[in-house]
Structure 1
Amino acid sequence: MDIVQSMQIFVRVAEFGSFTAAADSLGYSTPHVSRSVSELEVHLRAKLINRTTRKLALTEVGVRYLERCKAIIEDLKLAELEAAGAHLEAFGKLRMHSPNGIGHYHIISLIAQYSELQPNVDFELNLSQVTPDLLAEGYDLIISADSRVPDSGFIAQSLGTTYSVLCAGPGYIREHGLPEEVGDLKAHTCLRLHDPAFPKGWEIDGYDMDEIISPRQTFTVNVADSIAQAAKENMGVCLIPSYVAAASVGKGELVRVLPQVRANQRSISVIYPSRHFLDAKVRTWIEFLKKHLPERLMEDERVLRSGASGILTPAR
């Protein structure tokens, strides 16, 4: 028994006051309409319509049930219109996940800009280093800053590429000197960032970093902002993502070390379940990301290049 269809038939019978007229308006046979109402009464264990040879009359229960049915059917129509229009107008809550660094330095600012264009979209942003299960945790999309995007069956669109750079605090450089080549790092304190995307730590092409970096663990942390802060405190040399480094290098709080080195290359991607029936809020947000995030990553590049020319001459 299709309860919704039976309710619609009952409403039409009540409105027309006739099984035959209701059947004609719906394109059903009169016996089908009569049987549907009877089955609905059996299902409810209540008499809805008193039938005589000349007319139909709703019972007291039928009158109350009719109003409920009309409200439910109207809600269903509104739900259908809302769902069907979701691909046309951006509205509702958008749940997304991003890694800490890219989220803090770029995604939040982009959300603010997007919200001026689409004020009916609310964002719920989760920041963490651990990539969640997109479907199980109910996200509309996730931003990935992994070196490799897993083959998950989801849609992944590239938003650009980034890399990590070596930095140190001005005070540390004045005291310990500026390394001129990668091998010189043996004589320096190297701070460690625990990054799930790079479990081996520092990855610089052509070098076995395990042989260069001292195994002595002076400081290890799992958030790039924190390792950058440690470098600002002149604790040693750090390797941090370009979007974290750019903010501090631009202010002179950190100095580029070995500016020719680009380590821990990574891709920035947006990952979502499907292209089919994509909500307008998801579609327009992805389009906004694809247009504006690469611009911000290029600005990071510009800042890092300008900060690589030697803003500090270390004392020897």
Structure 2
Amino acid sequence: MDRFTALKVFCAVIEARSFTKAGNNIGLSRPAISKNIRELEAHVGVTLVNRTTRGVMPSEAGSRYYQIVSELLWRHEQADEVASQSGAELRGTLRVTMPVTLGLHLILPVLPQFNEENPECSLDLCLSEEKQQLVEGNFDVAVRASQRLEDSTLMSRCIGSVTYAICAAPSYLQKSQSLKSPKDLEDHQLVVHGANIGDQKWRFSAQGESCYVSVRAQHKSNCSEAIKSLTVAGMGIARIPRPYVSRELAEGRLVELLSDWTMEPLTIYAMYPQSNFLPRRTRLFIDFMSRALKVY
């Protein structure tokens, strides 16, 4: 087994959530992808990915392994570049795009520290719920949150992850039947993110047991802040990244439900164009965010 290749294959599979898509992204056949994953799992002695009818999901050990391996691969790719770049390349403007709610709750609060550490770098931020195109928009970095990256010609690096909270307002719970298991959600009004939920399912795990809940949205929005507002107003139950609702939970305006169950975390990625040489200010921004977002 070529260990380095196997690690690259593993990260590609986790990011694509598919052996076939991972192979297309890195130029390997599906059998080669399967062989590398199988040999890597044998080497580490644990199952790293779970294969389901809905695709490929990281195991608990696989999620932890991915966090470390993706960081190591990033460092390896940038080592030669760091040696060749000068300090002058830090000066200039860094254009970054990100979703509104993600930016307001996670990214903007840590930017003063980035500015203090890198005063020569200016920031040009675009916060939008519409996914901006990096090359066409002349952006250096896109910060995106997703459980599954779409096929892309962009490079990506995992810079953090956040857990979800299933929550509802006290006013909604007073007029609704109680929840004893995730399956009970199918009998409740749900406030869901995304315009196209289709056959979306939420996966819950607890004590080695997993279950899937079919999502039928009563209300939906493409904006997490709007979902939170609707939920606080008592319009249903929502799955919201925990940092987005920490204040509302602490103040009692929202109540967390099914806290004994866990869901696959929402992964935060830095996306950037493929290039032989990544500008130093871009690399420093991504490095900083990786450190800052570990706290979540």
**Contact 1:102–1:243 (8 Å) recurs in 2:** no
Asked if the contact 2:95/2:139 (under 8 Å) is kept, the reply is yes
> What does 1:92-131 correspond to in 2, within 5 Å?
92-131=92-131
RMSD across aligned C-alpha pairs, in angstroms? 2.7
Shift in Å, 1:199: 5.6
Asked whether the 8 Å contact 1:167–1:257 carries over to 2, the reply is yes
> Partner residue of 1:74?
none
Q: Provide the C-alpha distance between the structure 2 equivalents of 1:142 and 1:285, rounded to a whole number of angstroms.
A: 11
Partner Cα distance (2:85, 2:114) in 1: 20
Residue 209, structure 1, aligned to residue 208, structure 2? no
Equivalent runs, 1:35-54 vs 2, <5 Å: none
Structure 1 contact 202–263 (Cα < 8 Å) conserved: no
Asked if structure 1 preserves the Cα contact closer than 8 Å seen for 2:161 and 2:293, the reply is: no
Q: How does 1:118-267 map to 2 (within 5 A)?
A: 118-194=118-194, 200-205=199-204, 207=211, 209-210=213-214, 215=216, 218-263=218-263, 265-267=265-267
* 1:285 CA drift (Å): 1.1
**Per-residue deviation, 1:266:** 3.0
Question: What secondary structure does 2:93 align onto?
Answer: strand
Q: Determine the C-alpha separation between the residues in 2 that align with 1:125 and 1:261.
A: 36
Counterpart amino acid of 2:99?
Answer: P
Which amino acid is the alignment partner of residue 172 of structure 2?
A: Y
Decide whether aligned partners of structure 1 residues 235 and 218 sit closer, same or farther in structure 2, where only a CA change above 3 A counts: same
CA distance in 1, matches of 2:191, 2:154: 36
What corresponds to 1:272 in structure 2? 272
Give the Å deviation of 1:219. Answer: 2.5
Using the aligned pairs only, state the percent identity: 22
Q: Cα–Cα, structure 1 residues 87 and 139, in superposed 2: closer, same or farther, change >3 Å?
A: farther
Does the CA contact (< 8 Å) of 1:192 and 1:201 recur in 2? no
The aligned amino acid for 1:241 is P
Quote the residue 1:292 is aligned against. 292
SS class of match (1:209): strand
Counterparts of 2:283 and 2:135, CA distance in 1: 17
Q: Deviations over 1:37-87 (max 9, x none)?
A: xxxxxxxxxxxxxxxxxxxxxxxxxxxxxxxxxxxxxxxxxxxxxxx9765
**Shift of residue 224 of structure 1?**
1.1
Rg bigger for which structure? 1
1:75 matched to which residue of 2? none
Unaligned runs of 5+ in 1: 1-83, 298-316
Deviation sequence 1:257-303 (CA, Å, 0-9, x none)? 111333464321111124643323212211111111111x1xxxxxx
**After the TM superposition, which of the residue ranges 227-236 and 84-93 deviates more from structure 2?**
84-93
- 2:201–2:212 contact (8 Å) kept in structure 1: no
Output the TM-score relative to the length of structure 2.
Answer: 0.61
**How far has the Cα of 1:114 moved from its partner?**
0.9
Instruction: Give the AA of the match of 1:209.
Output: V
Could you tell me whether the CA contact under 8 Å between 1:101 and 1:243 is conserved in 2? Answer: no
CA distance in 2, matches of 1:199, 1:126: 29
The code of the aligned residue for 2:139 comes to Y
Q: Whose strand fraction is larger, Structure 1's or Structure 2's? A: 2
Q: Does the 8 Å CA contact 1:195/1:201 hold for their aligned counterparts?
A: no
Report if aligned partners of 2:106, 2:293 keep a CA contact under 8 Å in 1.
yes
Tell which deviates more after alignment, 95-104 or 155-164.
155-164
Deviation at 1:251, TM superposition (A): 2.9
Gaps of at least 5 residues in structure 2 are 1-83, 205-209
Q: TM-score, normalised by structure 1?
A: 0.58
Q: How far does residue 200 in structure 1 lie from its aligned partner after superposition?
A: 4.2
Q: 1:240 to 1:195 in 2, by over 3 A?
A: farther
Q: Report the Cα distance in structure 2 between the residues aligned to 1:268 and 1:93, rounded to whole angstroms.
A: 23
2:131 partner SS: coil
**Local SS of the residue matching 2:110:** helix
Instruction: Give the length in aligned residue pairs.
Output: 208
Code of the aligned partner of 1:92: G
Partners in 1 of 2:86 and 2:195 — Cα distance?
Answer: 37
Q: 1:130 to 1:87 in 2, by over 3 A?
A: farther
